[in-house]
Homo-oligomer: A and B are copies of this chain.
Amino acid sequence: MAMARWEPNAQQRLQQAAGALFAERGYADVTVADIAERAGLTKRTFFNHFPDKREVLFADAAAFEAAVLKHLAAADPALAPLDAAVEALAGAGLSDLAKYGEYAATRRDLIASSTELQERDLIKTAALTAAIAAGLLEREAPPRTTAFASKAAVAVFIAACDDWIDSPRANLATLIYQELAELRRAVCGA
C-alpha cells in the first residue's frame, strides 16, 4: 500500500509472484491471498485476471495454441495430416518453448507434484489437440483421421518436450522426429 497502487503489469506480476511462491512452498501451501500480497495486490484482483488459482500457471497456453494453428495453416498442403500437425508443433515449439529455458523443468516438477495441476495440464493439451484437429479438418482430412492424427502429434510433441527438458542441449526438432518414428513403430509394427 505504501507503493503506488497503479503499477502497470499486474497480470505478469501475479504470475511471477505465483511462480516464486510455488517454488518456495509448493502449490498447495500457497494461498491466492499470498500471491496477491506478494504482487502488491488483493485476492479479488487476482480473480479479475485469472479465473482460478491453477490458471496462473497456464496463461500462455492460448498463445502457444494460436502459434501452432498459424504454423498449421502455413504447412505444406501435400503433407499427410499427422506430418502437418507434427511440423506445426515443431515450428511453434522451437520459437515459443525456447524462452522457457531452465524454468521448464521447475514447472514440470511443480505440475507433477499436484493432481489439481495435472488435471489442468491435461485439459489444456486436450484443448490444443482439439484445435489441431479442427485445423486439420480445414485440410480436407476425414474427421476420424484428424482426431487420431492430432492426438498422435500432441503425444509425440509432449514426449519430445520431456526428452528436451532432460537434455536441453539436444535439438527439439530432432527429438520430435525420433519420437514420431517411435510412435510409428509402436502403432504399425516393428
Contacts and interface: CB of A to CB of B under 8 A. Distances in A.
Which secondary structure dominates where chain A touches chain B? Answer: helix
- Please give the count of copies of this chain that the complex contains: 2
A179 B144 contact: yes
Chain A: interface residue count, which band? 20 to 34
A82 B187 CA distance: 6
A184 interface: yes
Nearest to A156: B148
A32 interface: no
B82 A186 contact: yes
A169 B159 CA distance: 38
Contact of A186 (B119, B148, B155, B159): B148
B118 A182 contact: no
B188 A159 contact: no
Contacts of A152: 152, 183, 186-187
Nearest to A190: B80
Interface in A111-154: 115, 118-120, 122-123, 126, 144-145, 147-149, 151-152
21 contacts: A80-B189, A82-B187, A118-B126, A119-B120, A119-B123, A144-B159, A145-B182, A148-B155, A148-B159, A148-B182, A148-B183, A148-B186, A148-B187, A149-B186, A149-B187, A151-B151, A152-B187, A183-B187, A184-B188, A187-B187, A187-B188
